[in-house]
């Protein structure tokens, strides 16, 4: 279920705030979103995988906390980020 190193690097370069950024809230939210999307696909095929469902719910909660942190800091930045990620329709 883990993301490949190549995919992680793509996400980091796409969402980094500055050149050496690898752990800002934007990058973390993007990584979590990729993992959530991947787990959601897995659970579509494996409906009885309850341990993965629990892991998915934990990832969603972590992403929610990071997004609320970004929203407190800058509402415009928050709107731009969720627009880029395609979440919260």
pTM: 0.92
| Alpha-carbon span 75 to 7, nearest angstrom | 28
With cut-offs at 50, 70 and 90, classify the pLDDT of residue 88. confident
Is residue 56's pLDDT more than 70? yes
In this structure, of 19-23, 26-30, 69-73, the range with the lowest mean pLDDT score is 19-23
What pLDDT is stored for residue 1 in this prediction?
59
The count of residues in the chain is 89
Residue with tokens 């929610």: 64
Q: Which domains does the chain have, with CATH numbers?
A: 25-85 (1.10.287.10)
Q: pLDDT, tens digit, for every residue of 1-16?
A: 588 999 999 999 999 9
| Alpha-carbon span 71 to 1, nearest angstrom | 29
What pLDDT is stored for residue 89 in this prediction?
46
């Amino acid at each position: 279920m883990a993301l490949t190193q190549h995919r992680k690097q793509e996400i980091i370069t796409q969402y980094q705030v500055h050149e050496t950024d690898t752990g800002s809230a934007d990058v973390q939210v993007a990584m979590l979103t990729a993992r959530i999307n991947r787990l959601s696909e897995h659970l579509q095929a494996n409906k009885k995988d309850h341990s993965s469902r629990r892991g998915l719910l934990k990832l969603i909660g972590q992403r929610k906390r990071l997004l609320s942190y970004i929203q407190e800091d800058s509402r415009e930045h928050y709107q731009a980020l969720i627009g880029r990620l395609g979440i919260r329709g």
